[in-house]
Structure 1
Amino acid sequence: MNLESPTVTVNKSPEDVFIFLSDVKNFEKLMPENISKFEVLDEDKFLFALKGMPEIILKKKELVAPNKIILGAAGGKIDFSLTGHITELESNKSEVQLVFDGEFNAMMAMMIKGPISKFIETLASNIPASV
């Protein structure tokens, strides 16, 4: 399953956006209001939970400065990645898009498609005000 957030424009350079997204504690600022738990486990890993959902641990998997950050599931029953694509528009203006990619059976995909789409849309829409 591949889901893409809307592309958002950020009035910062790709380097500034990359540095912000590279620091896992900054993801707390991007989370939706229905977050019930957020905890930084180490410099590369954080745990979060949304109300009514299981806890998820995300870990930095790959960094390609200043254009791409890949976070992936760290343990748990489901394997997926969340990739941030950062594109320079001008010297102090960037575009950011988040892409969720995971392997799920058809039933699971049907159940989680809506909530995950809304989740990555919220993360992306909170980036411009947070960086």
Structure 2
Amino acid sequence: MTTFTSAISINKPINEVYNYLADFNNHQKLMPDSIQEWVSTTDEASFSIPNMAKLSLKIDNRAENQEIVIKPAAKPPFALELKWSLSPNNDQTDVVFTINAELSMMLKMLASGPLQKLADHETQSLKALLA
């Protein structure tokens, strides 16, 4: 597994950050502008990445005010898990977004940069939206 992480602190209580992330409908606002064909419910989302793939994801596990684990709802091009981990830090919430991907050596060379950019983009978008 190849792991990509991005960490931030948000000046909001943990329950507010958790409630936002626990609803997949909110995740479209975290995605880069290049994401197309977004369709979501509270628990699932599907979208396409131009010139790459169409993905269907589902929230696999919610641990209130701690973490949200997202896994593929349909067979992805490679094994994938996304995880939002939350921890209180005084009046702030520390957030770590992790992407675990099973990448072949070739895919690793092609996808590592974009996957790290995605992790960073999602955390920065979350911070901006909840500021």
Structure 1 length normalisation: TM-score?
0.90
Corresponding residue SS for 2:53? coil
**Aligned counterpart, 1:26:** 26
Equivalence map 1:68-87=2 (5 Å): 68-76=67-75, 77-87=77-87
Moved over 4 A (4+): none
Corresponding residue SS for 1:128? helix
Identity of aligned residues (%): 22
**Alignment: residue pair count:** 128
RMSD after superposition:
1.3
Corresponding residue SS for 1:63? strand
**Please, which runs of 5 or more residues in structure 2 have no aligned partner?**
none
Deviation of 1:85 (Å): 1.0
Corresponding residue SS for 1:12? coil
- Using the alignment, how far apart are the partners of 2:105 and 2:86 within structure 1? 31
Deviation of 1:51 (Å): 2.7
Corresponding residue SS for 1:48? strand
Residues 36-81 of structure 1: per-residue CA shift (max 9 Å, x gap): 22111x3310012233221111110111110111101122232210
Equivalence map 1:16-95=2 (5 Å): 16-40=16-40, 42-76=41-75, 77-91=77-91, 93-95=92-94
- Using the alignment, how far apart are the partners of 1:70 and 1:101 within structure 2? 11
- Using the alignment, how far apart are the partners of 2:49 and 2:69 within structure 1? 21
